[in-house]
Copies of this chain bind each other. A is one copy, B any other.
């Protein structure tokens, strides 16, 4: 299949490489040319604009940083819509806001194009190993094209609904749930530490019992040791997703006290010098600081 792929960050590059390996004709575009080189060597074509990457494609994937970037590569000058042929499909893998996804759905339909949202759970190593969890939403017609491709990229593809923005919402909820686990571990480690229980051993005990899901195992040791570098998922990105979650919930009329708490934690930790070079789980420092346990950094 002819496939366009826009956005070769750590996640996008890993996924695009898998598509090349699967034998698809992949046309990649990335703002910085350097990141296209490994894909060119593996057999992908390097395009000079999103429009060019989309020109021959039946399906274009996008994996970019945020709503603004997605809007720019899609509707901007020499964007995807300037190149995509009628009836082709745009599959957005990015974590974006619900309102943006709703706008995209309408604008693609009006342009005679398909749109599927398929945000992913997992880090770059999971992307490379095809271990992502993917949530997809779109019309049956568009999903019939998208799902077989997505199944090659991850260990499971969940179908959320017919409205693409629903998949974006579920992704935001997922990140919201992760953020609550981070806060929980911060508070739990603070109590344990002040009772003289070694936090690392404590986390080991918990994740060997009922709390054996991956997020507890990933974030527990980071929080217990207060080591938040290198950043698996940078703090400002987590903060952005919290903002998108609160905006989506507000539009739906749902109060989320847990998300409000996390919102305040992000602001507090950033005012204390934690930023883009730290993993988002660093906001657990708030709970530790309040208990008088913050290590010198």
Whether A169 is near chain B, meaning CB under 8 Å from some CB there, is yes
- For A216, A255, A257, A273, which residue has the most chain B Cβ atoms within 10 angstroms? A255
Interface-lining segment among A48-56, A75-83, A179-187? A179-187
Do residues B268 and A158 form an inter-chain contact, with CB atoms below 8 A?
A: no
Whether A139 is near chain B, meaning CB under 8 Å from some CB there, is no
Q: Give CA–CA (A177, B263) in the complex, Å.
A: 20
Q: Give CA–CA (A133, B209) in the complex, Å.
A: 6
With A160-B205, A177-B184, A197-B160 in contact, do A264 and B256 touch (Cβ < 8 Å)?
yes
Whether A166 is near chain B, meaning CB under 8 Å from some CB there, is yes
A176 nearest CB neighbor, chain B only: B188
Do residues A177 and B206 form an inter-chain contact, with CB atoms below 8 A?
A: yes
Q: A243-281 interface mask toward B, CB cutoff 8 Å, 1 = contact, 0 = none?
A: 000001110111111111101110110111100000000
Q: A74 to chain B: closest CB distance in Å?
A: 23
With A169-B197, A192-B173 in contact, do A210 and B215 touch (Cβ < 8 Å)?
yes
Q: A147-185 interface mask toward B, CB cutoff 8 Å, 1 = contact, 0 = none?
A: 000000000101011010110011001101110100110
Whether A71 is near chain B, meaning CB under 8 Å from some CB there, is no
Indicate which residue in B170, B187, B256 contacts A259 across the interface (CB closer than 8 Å).
B187
**B residues less than 8 Å from A290 (CB atoms):** 254-255, 264, 267-268, 271-272, 286
Q: What are 19 A-B pairs at a CB distance below 8 A?
A: A160-B197, A160-B202, A166-B195, A169-B192, A169-B197, A173-B206, A176-B184, A194-B253, A194-B254, A212-B213, A253-B271, A253-B292, A255-B263, A255-B265, A255-B287, A256-B287, A257-B260, A257-B261, A257-B264
New contact pairs (18) apart from A190-B256, A210-B214, A260-B260, CB-CB < 8 Å: A156-B208, A158-B205, A161-B197, A177-B206, A180-B180, A187-B257, A191-B254, A194-B253, A211-B213, A211-B215, A212-B213, A213-B216, A250-B267, A256-B264, A257-B260, A267-B290, A268-B291, A272-B290
Which A residues form the contact surface with B (CB < 8 A)? 98, 121, 133, 135, 156, 158, 160-161, 163, 165-166, 169-170, 173-174, 176-178, 180, 183-184, 187-188, 190-192, 194-197, 202, 205-206, 208-216, 248-250, 252-261, 263-265, 267-268, 270-273, 286-287, 290-292
